[in-house]
Amino acid sequence: MRIERTELADVLVLTPQPFRDDRGLFTRTFDAGEFDAFLGRPGAAAAFVQDSQSRTVGGVVRGMHGRSGRGEAKLVRCAHGAVHDVLVDIRPDSPTFGKQQAFLLDDNDFRHLYVPPGFLHGFQALTPVADVCYRIDRPHNPAEDLGVAHDDPDLAIAWPRPVTLVSDRDAVAASWRSLLTHLAPRS
């Protein structure tokens, strides 16, 4: 597995090295030992306690979602199809605060992202069907949900295709400016 840093502080791209032959392929999608060694934190991979999967049809955008409080770390990969995956750093003390980066995740290269706590995350399905898998380091608490509209003009996310559908929740998500107020330290 190849592990690389990205333009966003603390975000990693993990790329498995599949074995391909006439039968198809075999790949290890995650290796806890390599992950822990790269981070220099033995046992870091053991923190993941929940696996989830979404199935999304082409053109749909899911996001932009985040968590308040301690946030959550996650590994994200596309097991079937392809997605345009977007992260936005919402950690006020981060050197990349407010910056965004997009990644292609697909079932060809098997790349996946390590997303530390403190990021908004969303994606658009680029294929007729896309299955996205998440490995998350703590149980979901709906009271900590954060959201910013996928089409917020201040974020100006460049979705590669026309957006065909978003959830009711995402359709009424807050603005980037509203989130900044929420993130501002209380005095």
**Active site residue: 114, 121, 134, 150, which one?**
134
Catalytic residue among 65, 84, 121, 182: 65
In single-letter form, the type of residue at position 13 comes to V
Q: Kindly indicate the confidence band of residue 5, based on its pLDDT and cuts at 50, 70 and 90.
A: very high
- Residue 186 pLDDT > 70, yes or no? no
- Write down the pTM of the prediction: 0.93
- Clarify whether 134 is annotated catalytic: yes
On the question of pLDDT at 28 being above 90, the answer is no
pLDDT for res 185:
63
Note the pLDDT of residue 25.
87
Express as a percent the part of the chain with pLDDT over 90.
Answer: 85
Domain containing 97: what range?
Answer: 2-183
CATH number at residue 132: 2.60.120.10
pLDDT band at 27, cuts 50/70/90? confident
Average of per-residue pLDDT across 103-126? 96
Amino acid 29: pLDDT: 87
Question: Any catalytic annotation for residue 114?
Answer: no
Decide: 1 and 15 in contact? Cβ < 8 Å: yes
- 3-state class (DSSP) for residue 139: coil
- Residue 160: the pLDDT is 98
Number of structural domains, the chain?
Answer: 1
CB half-sphere exposure, 159, CA atoms < 13 A: 23
Residue pair 87/120 in contact (Cβ under 8 Å)? The answer is yes
pLDDT > 70: what percent of the chain?
A: 98
A 10 A CB-CB count for 121 gives: 20
Pairwise CA distance, residues 109 & 105, whole Å: 8
Check if the beta carbon of residue 89 is closer than 8 Å to that of residue 115.
no
Q: What is the mean pLDDT of residues 133-153?
A: 95
pLDDT at position 187: 47
Mean confidence (pLDDT) of the chain: 94
Q: Average of pLDDT values for 175-179? A: 96
